[in-house]
Structure 1
Amino acid sequence: MTVSVSRTTVTRVKPAGLAAAFVVLLLALLSMSSAPSFAAEKDWDSYVQEITEKVTQIPEQYADEDLAGVETSIRQAYYEVYQVSGLEAEIDHRLGEDRNDAFVSQLLSLRDLTQGGASQEEVQDATDETIEILETNVADLDAAPEVHDKWQRVATRSTDQVEASKQAYANGDYPGAANAARDAYLAHYEADGLEKATISYIGQSRVSEVESMFTQLRQNGRDGEISVDEFNAKADELIEALNADAQELDELTSSGELGWSGFWASFAILLREGAEALLVVAAVITYAMKAGRKDQIRGIVVGVIGALAVSIGLAFLFSKLTSSAATGFGQELIEGITGVLAVVMLIWVSNWILSKASGDRWQKYIEKTAGKGTASGGVLALASVAFLAVLREGAETILFFSPIIAASQTGGDHAKMWLGVGAAVVILATMFTLIWVFGVRLPMKAFFKWTSVLLGLLAVTIAGGAIKEFQDATLVRATLVDGVPEISWLGVYPTVESLAAQGLVIAILVILAVLQYRSANTSRQQADTAAAQTK
C-alpha cells in the first residue's frame, strides 16, 4: 500500500501559530529576566532582617550547646546574605572599609566567644552589638550619596589580579602569574558581569578583543618565555582596556536616562542570541510539518519550553552565587558542554535527514513509521536538538539583559528596552515564517538536502564557540593564529584549537555525506536492476 503525505495534512499546523508560540516563549524568558534579583536598587532592610534572624538565634543555640548550629548561623549570615546580597560591597564602598571591617570583626568576635566558653551574658551582649552595628551601617547607607562607579569597582578588582600576575611573573612564579590572570578573568570580568555589560552596551567585538588579551596574558604567564618588560606591557594594555570600558559603562549607566542605547542594546542581544536557536528550531519544526509528524512537533515544543525553564534556573543561580573564579568557570563550562552536545546532535540529525533525501528512502520510511508515535531519529532526536539549541543561548540572553534592566531608571528607558525586544522578536518571527514557507515549497529531495546543509553549518558554527568557551574556562589551550579574522557569528576564532574543531566537524559531515551519496547510488542501482528483471 502506498502511503503519501498530503498538503492538507501538513498545513493543519499553521506557521504563524508556531512563530507566535515561539515569540511568547521568548517574551516569557525576558520577563523572567526582570525579576527582583536583577533590580538596580535593593531593599537593604530586608537583608538586615534576614541577617538579624540568623544572628539572634545564636544565644539560644549556645545555651543548648549547639556549637555546630552557631557556626551555621554565622556562616549563613555572612556568606549567604551579607556578602552575596552585595551589602558588604555597598557598605565598604559608600561608607568606608573601616565600617565594613567593624561589622565583620564583631561577627567574628561573636563566633570566638562561643568557641571560647564565654558566659551566656557575654554572648548575648555580643549578639546585640553585632545587630546594632549592622543596623547603624544600613541606616547611614540609606543617607549616603549614590556613587556611580559600579563597573570601575569591578575593573579595579580585575586589575588588582592583573597586577598580582605581573608581580608573580617578575618573581619567576609562572604558574602563579597564570593563575592570577585566570582569576582576573573568571572571578571578576566574567563572574562580576563586566563582560556581559560590555557586550550589552559596547559590543561583542570589544569583548572578544579583551578576552584575547586575557588569554594571551594567561598563556604568556604559564609559558614564561617572554621578558618581564614584555609581560608587563601586555598586562598594562589589558588594564587600560578594562578601565576604559568600565569608565564608558559607568558614564552610560549612571546618566538620568539611557535613551536609545537601551533600545539598540536589547535589540542586538535578542537578535544575535535568538537567531541561532531559532534557525535550529525553525528547521526541525519545518521538517516535522513537511513530514506530517505532529508527534515530533509536540516533542520539539516540549524541548524548547524545557530549555527556557532550565535557562531561567541557571541564570537565577549564577546571579545569586558569590562572584568567584568558580562562578565564572561554571558559566563557561556549562556553555561549552552544551555546545559540544548540540554539535553532536546536529551532526546526527543532519545526517539522518540527509539519509532520507532519496524519494524511495523517504517513501519506505513513511510506510514503515506511519501511525507510530516514535521512530529512529524522530521525536527524541529533534526534541533534543531544540532543547540544546535554546538552552545554549537562553541563560546567556538573560544574563546579558540584566545590566540593561539594572540601568533602566525611567519609564522611557523601560519602554525603549521593550521596544528593542519587540523589534527583534518581529524579525525573528519573520525569519521563522520565511524558513517555513521556503521549506514547505521545496521539493522533498531538495528540502532534505538544504535542511541537512543548514544544520551542518550550524554544527560547525557552534563547534567553534564551544571550544572558545572551554578556552575561556582555561580547560583548553588557545594557540593564536596570525592573519585569521574573528567572525563570532560564524564561530570562527583565530586559534588553532577552535579552527581544528571546526575542521573536524566539517570532515565528519563530508564523510557522512559521501557515505550517504554512495548508499543512495547503490540503492538506486539495485532498484533499477530489480525493475529491469521484472520486465
Structure 2
Amino acid sequence: MLTLALGLAVWVAVGAAPPPPWSEVAREVSIILDRAAAAHAARQPERGLELVSEAYFGVFEESGMETAIRRYVSARRAREIERMFGGIRQVIRAGVEPGEVGRQVATLRDTLEAEARELERQGVTRDDLRPEPEGPRPADTDGAAAQISPDAAGQLLARLDEAAARYGRGARGETLALLDRAYFDHFEGQGLEAAIGARAPGRKTAIEARFIRIRGLISAGAPPETVAGEIDILRREMGEAIALLSRSGGPWQAVFAGALIIVREGFEAILILMALLTYLVRAGHRDRTRTVYGAAGVAIVASLLTALALRSLTRLAAQHAELLEGITMLMAAAVLVYVSYWLTSKTETRRWQAYLDSKVQASLGTGRVAALWAAAFLAVYREGAETVLFYHALLAGTEDTRAVLAGLGIGALVLVGLFALLRTGARRVPMHAFFTWTSLLLYAMAFVFAGRGIRALQAAGAVGASPTPWQLTADWFGLYPTWEGVGVQLLLLAAAAVALLVVLVGRPRSGEHGAPASVPSKGDV
C-alpha cells in the first residue's frame, strides 16, 4: 500500500507539473535556430530549413506561444514574428553568407524574449488558450485579422518542405501527419481554401487534387523524388493562387465573384429541383410540390447552421467539413440513383397511360414522398454550408461589401430565371421524352456526386487515394485521378446498365397493343 501511495503521489506530482514558462519556450526556439544557423554555415541548407521548421511548428506553435502573442499582445506582432521565421528560411534557401543568418536569428531571439516577458507579466498561461469566440479580437485593432494572413501560404509551404524531408528519411507516418496538418491547419484552417474557392474554384480543385495525389503516393511508398516533384508542383500552384488573391479587380470583380458563387453552386440544385417539381405537376400531384419546396427551405436553414457550427469548431473543423461534405454527397448520389431508376421505369408511355387511367394517382406512397423530400433536401444541402463559407471568405477579403451582395442578388435572379425557363420548357416535352431525360439527368448528377463525395472523404483522410496513371481532373463531371473514385463511378455505370436492361425486358413485346404488361400500383409513384 505504501508503494501504491508513493506511486500515486509521484504520478500526481508529475501530472500537476506546470508547463515551462514562456521564457523557456523562447529559449528552446533560440537554441534550435542557432543549430539551424550552424547547419547553414556548414553548407547544409536542407538541414537548416528543417530546423527552422522544427523551431516554428514544433516549439513556437505547438507550445501555444504564437496563439498567446496573437491573442494577448497583438495579431500584428504575431504576424511580424511569422515573417521573421520566413525571412530566416529565405536567406538560408538563398545561400547568403552565414553572418546575415546569424543576425536575423539574433533579432528573432530578442523579439521572442521580449514577448515572453510580456506574456509572463500579464500572467497568461496555457489554460487561457481556449478556442476563441467568433467576432473581432480585442487585441487586433488593425482590421487585418479578417483577411488571409500574408504568411499563411509561407507556413503551408514550410510544412510541405518538412514533409518532403521526413519522407526522404523514410518516416512515412510522420510525413502523412505533416501533410494532414498542412492541409487542415493551413490550407483550410487559415482560410486559404475558402478564399481561393471564392475567387478561382478551378485552382482550389486542382490544389485539393494535388494534396490527395501526394497522400496517395506516400501511402503507396512512391520514390522520394516522385513525391518531391509533386510537392514542387503544389508549391507552384499555391503560388499562382496566392498571387491571384493579392490582385484586386475593383468593385466589378467583387460583383462578378459574388454572382459566380451562387450560380455555380446552385445550378445543379436547380436542375434537380426542376425535375422533381415538373414530375409532380405532370403526374397530377401539384399539392405535393410543397414537399420539395419545404425540403429546399429546410436545407437552406441547415446549411446556415452547419456553416456557423463549422466556424465555431476547433482546428478539426476543416476535417469535419470534408467528412460532412463527403457523406452528404454519397447520400445524395444514392437517393438520386433510386429516384432515377424509379423514373426510368415510367419511360414506357403505355405503362404510364395505364397508370393514369387506373385513377390511383391521387396520392403518393409514403416511401416515394420520403425519397422526393430527401432528394430535394440533399440537392440543396450538399454544398450549402460550403457556399456560406465561400461568401464569408469573399466578404473578409474585400472592403466593398455592397458589391459582393449585389453580385449575390444578381446571381440569385439568374437562378430564378433559369429555373422558370427550364420548368416552362419541361412542361412542353412529351411524356416519354420527359421521363427519359429526367432519369438521365438525375443519374448523371448521382455520377458527379459520387466522384465528389469520394474526393471529399479522401481529403479528410477517411478513404485512401490510389493515383491513376492519368491525372485528368474534371470537377464539373466529378472525375478525379484516383482509383477509389473511378471505381465507384464504374459501379454506378454498371448499375445503370443493369437497370436499363431490366426496364427493356419488362416492356411489352412488339405487337402487343392491349393492356400494358403491368400497371403501377398505388405506391409506385
Q: TM (normalized to structure 1)?
A: 0.69
Aligned counterpart, 1:380: 370
Aligned counterpart, 1:473: 460
| Partners of 2:378 and 2:286 in 1: CA distance | 20
Q: Does 1:283 align with 2:244?
A: no
| Partners of 2:379 and 2:516 in 1: CA distance | 43
Aligned counterpart, 1:198: 196
Go from structure 1 to structure 2 and tell me whether the alpha carbon gap of 1:341 and 1:108 turns closer, same or farther (over 3 Å shift): farther
| Structure 1 residue 298: Cα displacement | 1.1
Aligned counterpart, 2:475: 488
Aligned counterpart, 1:390: 380
| Structure 1 residue 233: Cα displacement | 4.0
Q: Does 1:401 align with 2:403?
A: no
Go from structure 1 to structure 2 and tell me whether the alpha carbon gap of 1:287 and 1:246 turns closer, same or farther (over 3 Å shift): same
Aligned counterpart, 1:164: 162
Go from structure 1 to structure 2 and tell me whether the alpha carbon gap of 1:222 and 1:371 turns closer, same or farther (over 3 Å shift): closer
Aligned counterpart, 1:420: 407
Aligned counterpart, 2:178: 180
Aligned counterpart, 2:242: 246
What is the RMSD computed on CA atoms of the aligned residues? 3.5
Judge conservation of contact 2:472–2:481 (CA < 8 Å) in 1: yes
Aligned counterpart, 1:153: 151
| Partners of 2:138 and 2:366 in 1: CA distance | 64
Give the counterpart letter for 2:235 in structure 1.
I
Aligned counterpart, 1:349: 339
| Partners of 1:214 and 1:103 in 2: CA distance | 39
SS in 1 for 2:150: helix
SS in 2 for 1:521: coil
Go from structure 1 to structure 2 and tell me whether the alpha carbon gap of 1:480 and 1:233 turns closer, same or farther (over 3 Å shift): closer
Go from structure 1 to structure 2 and tell me whether the alpha carbon gap of 1:459 and 1:496 turns closer, same or farther (over 3 Å shift): same
| Partners of 1:529 and 1:348 in 2: CA distance | 23
Judge conservation of contact 1:95–1:141 (CA < 8 Å) in 2: no
Give the counterpart letter for 2:306 in structure 1.
L
Go from structure 1 to structure 2 and tell me whether the alpha carbon gap of 1:193 and 1:152 turns closer, same or farther (over 3 Å shift): same
Cα deviation, 1:466-498, whole Å, max 9, x if unaligned, reads 111112112223333344632211112222222
Residue 78 of structure 2 is aligned with which of 93, 100, 122?
A: 93
| Partners of 1:365 and 1:191 in 2: CA distance | 54
The structure with higher relative contact order (CA 8 Å, sep 6+) is 1
Judge conservation of contact 1:467–1:498 (CA < 8 Å) in 2: yes
| Partners of 2:278 and 2:505 in 1: CA distance | 27
Judge conservation of contact 1:353–1:448 (CA < 8 Å) in 2: yes
| Partners of 1:92 and 1:524 in 2: CA distance | 84
Aligned counterpart, 1:214: 211
SS in 2 for 1:486: coil
Judge conservation of contact 1:312–1:398 (CA < 8 Å) in 2: yes
| Partners of 2:198 and 2:448 in 1: CA distance | 22
Cα deviation, 1:249-289, whole Å, max 9, x if unaligned, reads 2454xxxx842221221222111100011110111011111
| Structure 1 residue 232: Cα displacement | 3.5
| Structure 1 residue 296: Cα displacement | 2.1
| Structure 1 residue 214: Cα displacement | 1.7
For 1:333-344, what aligned pairs fall within 5 Å after superposition? Answer: 333-344=323-334
Identify the range of structure 1 (266-275 vs 239-248) with the bigger mean alpha-carbon deviation.
Answer: 239-248
Q: Does 1:261 align with 2:261?
A: no
Residue 299 of structure 2 is aligned with which of 300, 303, 307?
A: 307
Aligned counterpart, 2:500: 513
Q: What are the ranges of 5 or more consecutive residues in structure 1 without an aligned counterpart?
A: 1-81, 113-126, 131-137, 531-535
Q: What are the ranges of 5 or more consecutive residues in structure 2 without an aligned counterpart?
A: 1-65, 82-110, 130-136, 518-525
SS in 1 for 2:508: helix
Go from structure 1 to structure 2 and tell me whether the alpha carbon gap of 1:405 and 1:348 turns closer, same or farther (over 3 Å shift): same
Give the counterpart letter for 1:277 in structure 2.
A
Which structure dedicates a bigger proportion of its chain to helix?
1
Cα deviation, 1:64-88, whole Å, max 9, x if unaligned, reads xxxxxxxxxxxxxxxxxx969x846
Residue 490 of structure 2 is aligned with which of 484, 494, 503?
A: 503
Go from structure 1 to structure 2 and tell me whether the alpha carbon gap of 1:175 and 1:417 turns closer, same or farther (over 3 Å shift): same
Q: TM (normalized to structure 2)?
A: 0.70
Cα deviation, 1:381-439, whole Å, max 9, x if unaligned, reads 11110000100121111111112111231xxx233323322332232222212221122
Identity of aligned residues (%): 28
